[in-house]
Amino acid sequence: MESNLNLDQTFVSDNLVSVETGGLIVNNVLDMRLHEFFFISIYFIIFIFLVKFFIKSQKLNKNKVYFLISYHYCFIILAYIYSLLYVNDTDSFFQQAYLFNDADDIYIANNTMALINHFLIYLFNLHYFSIFIFLGFFSSMGFLFLFISFSEILNEFEINKNLLFALFLFPTWHFFTSFPGKDSIFLFSLGLFCFSLMKKKFFYLIISIILIYLIRPHISFLFLVSGLLIWMHYFFLDMFKSKISYFILFVSFSSIFLVLLKNFSPGYFYTLFNFFEEGAIVRGYNTLETGWYVTGNNIFSNSLKYLFYPLFDFSSLNRLISSLENILIIFLILRTSLNFNKKVFIQMIKKKELMFAILIFTMILVLLSNFTANIGISARQKWMMMPFLFLFIIPFLSKFKSSRL
């Protein structure tokens, strides 16, 4: 083991024994530092304290909470092993922070991840393995925040909370959010957003939006647009009884928004008005290569492919697991349609949180399916919106109300 961070480390390791890893270009990044154990132990104690605080304050079932966290950490260990065998973004972000002092990528999300790794290495005294453990605290809290929020949003409905809990155990959701990358930060941000929204903690709500912007700028834009549309809908609905007045004012404010968008963010404005043409160009880049599926101009068909590819693909273990998950999700959606209840649906759309969930799910799905035709990317990024689908279908899937979790 090494007792320091080897700040003078170069690209060529002094170790003559070659260590083959996924994308790591220096051998000693795999070495465990003695001080890592000390610092990660301190952070772990703080993490457990926070978990106990939420268990007590939210009156949660501690066994299920600890099971969810332990379950997630099994995937974190698996993700760490995977990162040593295959090239992935985690390698790039860590090595950029470890070997260089500047972050000059053209994408703000990549610069953000490099900066986060820089602080974790040089300020928090962590390294490659312990960064997996540390950011696992945040992704675990993301799951916990989401579960607390969904339970509270649906407290007016007769839901089965054991079934809701089971929906939080999809393997690929945990696997993709186990890497110390953009998906784990997004999961924490999403959980914090939902939790802050339910508890009306607007400071933390703003923090969550900022975090989403730093790693997924386009998704943060959709969050803001969805929130604005929902606010306008309910505000004008309360102010005007006339549907004509409501419609005129809604269209007027929407037009003002488009004018502001054109002046302050012309890139988004151009993409919006050339949405399908731009998407077709991006999707057509690599359609002849493996791992890409064929798309057309049908937005509904593209959305279904984005959500449910791969399907019945048993060519590899990850494709097999993804296929089984997608089959299960299709079954749950079909079951939802069979259990559809008009009274429950009307009750659901009266809740602002559920209206927001439906809207943001639809907007993210339309956007990503229009610009993505890669099976691996869609299988990973769809978990940014799938929680909102679960939130919508769980009242229809539930047959009885279980004991409080």
**Residue in the block written with tokens 């990044």:** 29
Residue 366 confidence (pLDDT): 92
Residue 307 confidence (pLDDT): 93
Name the residue with higher pLDDT: 141 or 272.
141
DSSP string, 102-161: ----SSHHHHHHHHHHHHHHHTS---HHHHHHHHHHHHHHHHHHHHHHHHHHTTTS---H
Cis peptide before 310 (omega within 30 of 0): yes
Contacts of 51 by beta carbon, 8 Å cutoff, 6+ apart: 65, 66, 69, 141, 144
Chain segment 110-131, per-residue pLDDT in tens: 889 989 988 998 888 888 889 9
Quick one: how far is CA 338 from the chain centroid? 29
pLDDT of 259 strictly over 90 = no
Give backbone dihedrals phi and psi of 160, rounded to 5 degrees, phi first: -95, 105
- Weakest-pLDDT range from 130-144, 278-292, 343-357: 278-292
Residue 1 confidence (pLDDT): 37
pLDDT of 12 strictly over 50 = no
Residue 6 confidence (pLDDT): 37
Residue 26 confidence (pLDDT): 58
Residue 401 confidence (pLDDT): 43
70: its two tokens: 């332990």
Q: Structure pTM?
A: 0.86
Residue 182 binned pLDDT confidence (cut-offs 50, 70, 90):
very high
